[in-house]
Chain A
Amino acid sequence: MYIEEFKKYYEKRHEYAKDFKKKHPDWKIVGTFCTYYPEELMYAAKVLPVRILGSHEPQNVTEPHIFGMFCPFCRDVLAQGLQGRYDYLDGIMIAQSCLHVRQSYTSWDLHIPVDFRYYLPMPHHLQSARAKDFLKAELEKFKKALENWTGNKITDEALDEAIEILNENRRLLRQAYDFRKKDNPPMTGLEAMYMVVSSQMMHKKDHNEILKNLIEKELPNRDLGIGDHIRLMVLGSENDDVEFLDMVETITSNPAKFVIDDHCTGSRYFWNQVEPKADRLMAIAERYINRPPCPTKDWPNRLRLEHDLNLAKEWNVQGAVLLQQKFCDPHECDIPIFQRAFEEQGIKTLFLELDVLVPVGQFKIRTEAFLETLSSEDLF
C-alpha cells in the first residue's frame, strides 16, 4: 500500500532524481548536507534539494580526505560522491551545521566537480535575538546566488507557493506521526524513517500525494497488531540505519516498536512550519531558527531536552534508545545529561553508538536486555 512507497523511493533515490531531471528539464538538482538548508528558496528557484546520505557499506575511498576521528556518517556521505553515485547533481550546498559533515561538503567541493557550490553560514546562537536578522541577510545572499545561477527570478509568488508545498509536507508528516500516538500504532519506526527520509530525497509535491493517500486511506484502519508492544522513543544523531531499526522492531522475546523519534532523519526535520508573513525571508529565517535544534546549535539552554521529554510524554513512551554516530561530539556533549533527565522522568534509556555498519549481534543482546528490564517492571 501507500506506506510501502516510501521505502521504494528511499532505495531508488538516484533513479528518482535522474528521472525527475528528465521530466523537468527546467529544474536543477542540488545535493545538501545536514537539514538546515532553506528549501523554500530552492524550490522557488526551481532547484530540487536532495539530502545526501550514506549507503551503509564498507568503502576505502575516504581515508585520504577525512581523518578517522570524525563520524562514520560524514565519511559515508563523502564516499557516495567519490564513488560517483551522485553524478547527476548540478550543485551542492550546506547550511553550516556540525564540523563533521562540513568536511563531507568541503571535500566534495575540492574533488567532485559540480556547477554550483554554496556555503551558507547558518548561525549557531539560535537563542540570541540577533540570529534572525543575520540569517535573513544570509538568505538574501543565497537568494541572489540562486537567481544568478539558475536565471530564475525568485518572486514573492514563487516563494509563497514553495512555502505552501513545504508547509503542507510538514503538516502531513505531523499528522502521520500523530497516528503513532495510538495504543496500537499503525506504523513502525522503520516505516516512519522511510517516510521522512524519502521526503528529503523527492519533490515534496510527489511526496505529499502519497502522504495524503496514506493519511486518508491507509492509516486510519491499518492494524499491525502491536498494541501490546513496548513503546520506545529513539533519539540522537543522523539515523537511517535500516538494519538496526529492523533488528529492534523484530525482537520476539519482548516485542517493541519505536513510536516517536528526535532525529534529523525524523521529526526534527519537519516539526515546525514557516509562519507566513509579508517579509518572506524573515518568515523563512524564523522557521529554521525555531525548529527543534541540532545539539550543536542548542545552547546556552537545552531546549531540545525539553522538547524531547514532551515528545516522550505525548507519545506515551516507556523507554528511550539514545543513538549517536560514533565520534559525534555535539551529541556526546548532551547524552549523559539527557540520560539523567530521562531517567528522572522514569524513562529508562539505552545508549548505542552507530557506525557505517552496526554490529547487529551485539546490539541485539543489549537491546533484548534493555527490553527485559522494561517489561519486568510491568510484571511486578
Chain B
Amino acid sequence: MAKYKTEPLKLWNKAKEIRQQYYKNYATAHEKGGIRWAGGAWTFDAVPAGLGEDVYSLTSEPYGASVAWNKNFALECQEAAEAFGFARDLCSYMRNYWGSILIDKYVFGGPFPKPDFLWQDHICCSHAKWYQNISYLEGGIPMYCVDMGAGAYKPFAEVTESQIDYIANQLLDGIEWLEKVTGRKFNDELFFEACWNDFRSTSRWAQICELNRAVPAPLEEKTMYSLYVLATLQKSWKVVADFYDELYEEVKDRVDRGIAAVENERVRVITDTQPPWAFLKIFRYMEKYGCVSVGSIYTYGLEGMFVYDKEKHEFNHRPLPPKKPETREEACRMLADWHMCKPEYQHFVHPEYKTLMMDAICKQWNVDGVMLHYNRGCEGLSVGIAEVRLGLLKRGRKVMTFEGNMGDEREFDEARTVQRIDAFLETFGIRKSE
C-alpha cells in the first residue's frame, strides 16, 4: 500500500520541448542570419542578448552532459580529446565538448556547429582554459571571459564596491568587445529585459526548490535535473522565466494536495555535485528503499539564487531586486552583485561556506542523510568536498560518499556504488522492497 499519492508532472513535456527548441535555435541560427555564441552555464548570458533577438547560445556544461547520456558518442569524444594530448583527468564536460569539435560531430546530429564568438566566465581553474582551447581548436574564434574571482559573497565575506566594480567593469568592457566582434550596435533595452529575466528565472527556481521542503517532497532530484537545466541553458530567456512561473504554480498545487514524487517516501537525502549522468538509475534504485533525494546545493544553487542567513542558520531564496535596471552601468552592477551571491560559487573560496548552507538545507528540507558524489569529472564542484563531509559529520549529519564521474562513465563503478548505497541505507534501518 503506497504511503502517498503520486502523479506525473504536467509540465514535463513542456520542459523537454523548450530544451529541444533551444538546441535547434542554436543549430539553425545562421540560416536566419542570426548569431550564435558559446559559453558556460554560469556565464552572463543576459549580456549578448543586447545584440538582438536573433542571437542564440550553446552552453557547454549541459552540452557535455548531453554527450554523457550517449555512452558511445561520449567515448568517441573522450578518446579524441585524449589522442590530441589532453589528460584523462580533466573536466569530463570539457573533454566531451573538445572531442565533439575534434570529431566534428554534434551530439544532436550533423557536424559540430561552430560559434561566432565565445562568451564565458571564469570560476574554476578550467572555465577560461576550456574556451581558450575551443578557440584554439576552432582556429581562433574571438573569446571574452569575465573573471568571477572577486571573493565570496555576504554573509561569508564583506563585499566592497571594488569587488562589484571589478566584475561589472569587465561586463562593460565586454559589451564594447561584443560590438566590435559582431559589428552590431548594442541594444540596452533588450539587455535590461534579459537581466530581468535572469533575475526572475533564478529567483523563481529557488522558490520552486523551497517547495520541496514539504513532506512528502513534490519533486525528486532526478526530475529536478530536467527542470533546473533550462536555467543552465539560458536563464535570461523569457521563455525560461515564464516556464518557471508556471512550474511554481504546479509544484505548489502538488504540495497543497499532498502529491509525492515518490509514493513510499521514508528517508530523505540530499546529494552533492553533478550526478554520474549515465547512471541516473541509481536514484530509482534508492526508491526501492523509500529513499528520495530531495535535491542538492547543486540543483538548488547552481542556477537558483539563495542567500544564507547567518543568524537564523537558514537558506532562503533571494527576492527579486526592487526594480529593473535603467542604465547599462546599473544593469552590469546588478548582474555582478546577483551572480556573486550564487550559492554554488561560495565554496570556491572556502568549503565551510558550503557546509553551512548544506547543513541549513538539511534542517529546512527535513533531510535524514547526505550522499556526496566525489566527482572526478569536475574539480570545481568537488573542490573542498572532503571538508564538507567532515563539517557535516561534525554537525551530526549522516554522510556517505561515492566516487564517480559526471561525464566519463569509465570512472563509475555501478556495482560498487550500489553496494555503498545498500550499506548506507541499512544504517537507517530500512530494507529494500523487491
The interface of chain A, by Cβ under 8 A from chain B, is: 63-67, 69-70, 96, 98-100, 102-103, 106-107, 109-110, 119, 121-125, 128-131, 133-134, 137-138, 141, 295-296, 299-300, 302, 326-327, 329-330, 332-337, 339
Contact = CB atoms under 8 A, between A and B. Distances in A.
Contact of A125 (B86, B122, B130, B384): B122
Contacts of B131: 299-300
B91 A133 contact: no
A124 B147 contact: yes
B89 interface: yes
B132 A67 contact: no
Contacts of A70: 379, 383
Given A67-B385, A125-B122, A300-B144, 10 more contacts: A65-B390, A69-B374, A100-B125, A102-B383, A124-B122, A128-B170, A134-B150, A141-B160, A300-B128, A302-B132
Contacts of A327: 89
Given A67-B374, A128-B170, A134-B150, A332 B386 contact: no
A123 B123 CA distance: 11
Contact of A106 (B124, B130, B352): B352
A119 B349 CA distance: 8
B80 interface: no
B165 A332 contact: no
Interface string B344-381: 00001111100000000000000000000010100110
A77 to B, nearest CB: 15
Contacts of A138: 162
Contacts of A98: 125
Contacts of A336: 84-86
Interface string B379-421: 1101111110111000000000000000000000000000000
A333 B90 contact: yes
B149 A121 contact: yes
B129 interface: yes
Contacts of A299: 122, 128-129, 131-132, 143, 145
B130 A134 contact: no
B126 A329 contact: yes
B89 A130 contact: no
B201 to A, nearest CB: 26
Contacts of B351: 103, 106, 110
Contacts of A106: 350-352, 384, 387
Contacts of A109: 350
A70 B352 CA distance: 18
B312 to A, nearest CB: 23
A211 B128 CA distance: 39
A339 B85 CA distance: 9
Given A130-B173, A295-B129, A332-B90, A125 B387 contact: no
Contacts of B379: 69-70, 99-100, 329
A137 B160 contact: yes
Interface size grouping (class) on chain B: 35 or more
A67 B129 CA distance: 22
Interface of B: 84-87, 89-91, 122, 124-126, 128-133, 135-136, 143-147, 149-151, 160, 162-163, 165-166, 169-170, 173, 348-352, 374, 376, 379-380, 382-387, 389-391
Contact of A133 (B90, B165, B376, B385): B165
B126 A333 contact: yes
B408 to A, nearest CB: 12
Nearest to A63: B386
B85 A124 contact: no
Contacts of B89: 69, 326-327, 329, 332
Contacts of A129: 173
A296 B125 CA distance: 6
A96 B86 CA distance: 25
Contact of B146 (A69, A125, A296): A125
Contacts of B146: 125
A106 B156 CA distance: 14
A134 B166 contact: yes
Contacts of B90: 329, 332-333
A110 B387 contact: yes
A123 B386 contact: no
22 contacts: A67-B382, A67-B386, A98-B125, A99-B379, A102-B383, A103-B387, A119-B349, A124-B128, A125-B146, A125-B170, A131-B166, A133-B165, A134-B163, A141-B160, A296-B129, A299-B143, A300-B143, A327-B89, A332-B87, A333-B129, A335-B85, A336-B85
Nearest to A134: B166
Nearest to A125: B147
A300 B170 contact: no
B149 A337 contact: no
A234 to B, nearest CB: 19
Contacts of B125: 98-100, 296, 329-330
Q: Which of A64, A329, A334, A336 has the most CB of B within 10 A?
A: A329
Contact of A96 (B149, B160, B166): B149
A205 B352 CA distance: 38
Contacts of B384: 103, 106
Nearest to B94: A333
A124 B167 CA distance: 11
B135 A65 contact: no
B166 A65 contact: no
Given A107-B387, A332-B90, A99 B149 contact: no
Contacts of B136: 337
A119 B163 CA distance: 14
A329 B391 CA distance: 26
Contacts of B376: 69
Contacts of B128: 124-125, 299-300
Q: For A63, A119, A130, A334, which residue has the most chain B Cβ atoms within 10 angstroms?
A: A130
A128 B93 CA distance: 27
A100 B126 CA distance: 12
Interface centre among A63, A119, A133, A336 (most CB of B within 10 A): A336
A302 B144 CA distance: 14
Counting from the closest, the 6 A-B pairs by CB-CB distance are A336-B85, A125-B147, A137-B162, A333-B129, A134-B166, A121-B151
Contacts of A133: 162, 165-166
Nearest to B132: A299
Contacts of B169: 130
A302 B382 CA distance: 27
Contacts of B170: 125, 128, 130
Most B-side CB within 10 Å, residue of A98, A124, A333, A339: A333
Contacts of B387: 65, 103, 106-107, 110
A317 B129 CA distance: 27
A69 B86 contact: no
A267 to B, nearest CB: 22
B15 to A, nearest CB: 32
B150 A121 contact: yes
A74 to B, nearest CB: 10
A220 to B, nearest CB: 42
Given A65-B390, A106-B350, A300-B145, A329 B91 contact: yes
Contacts of B144: 300
A206 to B, nearest CB: 34
Contacts of B151: 119, 121
B99 to A, nearest CB: 13
